[in-house]
């Protein structure tokens, strides 16, 4: 080997070691940066004839297992969907409460029944009547509060849809712009790794909204499709989604019959039959809450409220009631007319004839809502009949349950049980989805930056640099010796 070849080999080794040190430094500095893919220096043996031998730096490659990345994105979409649904079902179970705890629907019903028993024992005692009236009012307030919680959940889901649509549109535009920049860098022979990191980070975020599949295109570009075939980006112009939040959602708002917005694509409303293309992520979960799960919870609550209303609107319980007179509970002051409008639970109130604050008389709880004058102070028949009405078995129409007769307490317990079961099922699904997402995240981390391995690489690069530097030093000494001899 000639001295010039030795110098060329050593210089190429020093250049490769320097470039490798830069790669290691970049890896260590970005070990915790979202979307960052570990870099590896690509090098090969240089042809002896071309440049005297040595090493050639071919470039810097991103280390990513695309199959794991793709499955990880689908898993993150499942986890986001499951988490959104689990939060909703938890809020519903919390609103109904745990039987036996203060404020729970079943507890308030038991307290009302106990207050009626106490008042019937001493009907002349107005404080006992006041306690029974207060317990009845608290029970109505619980139905109102639970119903308001359901509609608040729908409102929250509606607003979350609008926010996710805005994020999806913005993210797709950024990915399209990054595609353009990456193609320019690739065509010019530049380093597009940093741009690819940013694109991966953006796509990972979008994958929680809608399950995504990424397909490669020319010059480093990518195309994005939903897991079920919907086109999001394939070319220079991304799909443009539209959605308008309805504001506060009420029980009477239903899809297609009110101001509730639907998803649109490039200005065209997406038919319900095609919404399956965007199923599986957080966006679909919020549509499910707004349009399916929350309305079902409202229907069940309304059915329970109607059952409570009907138990006391019967003239067999209160003979003073006329055919059109409301009983103890009313629909915003009136008798419920079938079929009741959605949101009965929120409108469930005590008969104003009982409320002294609005000119009512508390003695009507003992003597009858339609009575024209107070009756005997010791009469307890109506109070006993009210208590018996709560304990009577009536055929129910609660969605999801059979029509077998139930007492008011059993109906409230089963309503609470349905909410608790929904929460348990949702949390079970969330647990499985979280484990799967965590598994793929761990697999991705195996390809990520390992600080120990990077330090080992750095030590190897240091030894390579020192060895090549020693070759240059030896060549220099040889040249100096030759010069002294001449």
Give pLDDT, residue 53.
Answer: 73
pLDDT of residue 91: 96
Q: What is the pLDDT of residue 218?
A: 93
Residues 308-326 have a mean pLDDT of: 92
Burial status of residue 154 (CB atoms within 10 A of its CB: 0-12, 13-18, 19 or more):
buried
21: pLDDT strictly greater than 80? yes
Res. 15 pLDDT band, cuts 50 70 90? confident
Predicted local distance difference test score (pLDDT) of residue 449: 79
Highest-confidence segment of 114-123, 249-258, 372-381: 114-123
Residue 258 pLDDT greater than 70, yes or no: no
Q: Is the pLDDT score of 257 beyond 70?
A: no
- Residue 264: band (very low, low, confident or very high) from pLDDT cuts 50, 70, 90: very high
**Across residues 228-239, what is the average pLDDT?**
92
Residue 452: pLDDT band by 50, 70, 90 thresholds?
confident
When pLDDT is cut at 50, 70 and 90, the band that residue 358 belongs to is confident
Distance CA 389, CA 308 (A): 9
Residue with the bigger pLDDT between 397 and 472: it is: 472
Nearest to 390 by CA among 411, 368, 414: 411
pLDDT of residue 483: 86
Q: What is the pLDDT, as a whole number, of residue 87?
A: 97
**Residue 251: C-alpha distances to residues 86, 162, 294, 455 (Å):** 21, 20, 9, 61
Token representation of residue 457: 């690489």
Q: Which of 154-163, 166-175, 271-280, 295-304 has the lowest mean pLDDT?
A: 271-280
Mean pLDDT for the chain overall: 90
pLDDT level of residue 345 (50, 70, 90 thresholds): very high
What is the value of pTM for the model shown? Answer: 0.86
Whether 400 shows a pLDDT value over 80: the answer reads no
């Amino acid at each position: 080997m000639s001295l010039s070849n030795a110098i060329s080999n050593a210089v190429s080794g020093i250049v490769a070691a320097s470039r490798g040190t830069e790669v290691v430094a970049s890896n260590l500095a970005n070990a915790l940066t979202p979307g960052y893919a570990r870099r590896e220096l690509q090098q090969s043996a240089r042809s002896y004839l071309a440049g005297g031998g040595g090493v050639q730096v071919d470039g810097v490659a991103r280390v990513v297992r695309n199959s794991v990345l793709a499955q990880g994105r689908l898993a993150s979409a499942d986890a986001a969907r499951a988490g959104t649904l689990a939060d909703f079902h938890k809020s519903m179970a919390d609103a109904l409460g745990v039987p036996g705890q203060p404020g729970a629907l079943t507890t308030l019903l038991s307290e009302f029944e106990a207050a009626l028993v106490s008042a019937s024992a001493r009907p002349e005692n107005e404080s006992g009547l006041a306690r029974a009236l207060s317990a009845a009012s608290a029970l109505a307030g619980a139905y109102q509060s639970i119903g308001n919680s359901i509609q608040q959940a729908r409102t929250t889901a509606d607003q979350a849809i609008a926010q996710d649509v805005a994020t999806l549109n913005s993210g797709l535009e950024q990915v399209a712009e990054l595609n353009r920049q990456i193609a320019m860098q690739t065509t010019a022979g530049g380093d597009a790794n940093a741009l690819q990191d940013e694109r991966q980070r953006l796509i990972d975020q979008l994958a929680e909204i809608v399950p995504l599949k990424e397909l490669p295109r020319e010059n480093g570009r990518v195309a994005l499709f939903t897991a079920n075939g919907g086109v999001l980006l394939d070319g220079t112009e991304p799909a443009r989604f539209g959605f308008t939040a309805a504001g506060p959602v009420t029980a009477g708002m239903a899809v297609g019959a009110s101001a509730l917005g639907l998803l649109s694509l490039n200005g065209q409303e997406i038919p319900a039959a095609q919404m399956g293309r965007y199923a599986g992520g957080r966006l679909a979960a919020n549509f499910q809450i707004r349009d399916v799960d929350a309305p079902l919870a409202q229907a069940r609550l309304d059915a329970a409220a109607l059952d409570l209303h009907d138990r006391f609107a019967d003239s067999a319980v209160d003979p003073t009631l006329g055919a059109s007179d409301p009983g103890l509970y009313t629909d915003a002051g009136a008798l419920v007319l079938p079929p009741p409008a959605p949101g009965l639970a929120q409108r469930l109130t005590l008969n104003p004839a009982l409320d002294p604050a609005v000119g009512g008389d508390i003695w009507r709880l003992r003597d009858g809502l339609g009575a024209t004058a107070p009756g005997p102070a010791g009469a307890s028949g109506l109070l006993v009949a009210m208590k018996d009405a709560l304990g009577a078995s009536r055929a129910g129409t609660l969605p999801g349950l059979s029509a077998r007769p139930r007492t008011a307490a059993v109906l409230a317990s089963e309503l609470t049980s349905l909410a608790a079961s929904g929460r348990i099922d949702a949390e079970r699904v969330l647990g499985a989805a979280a484990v799967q997402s965590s598994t793929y995240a761990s697999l991705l981390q195996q390809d990520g930056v390992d600080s120990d391995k990077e330090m080992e690489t750095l030590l190897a690069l240091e030894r390579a640099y020192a060895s090549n530097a020693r070759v240059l030093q030896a060549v220099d000494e040889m040249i100096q010796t030759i010069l002294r001899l001449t």
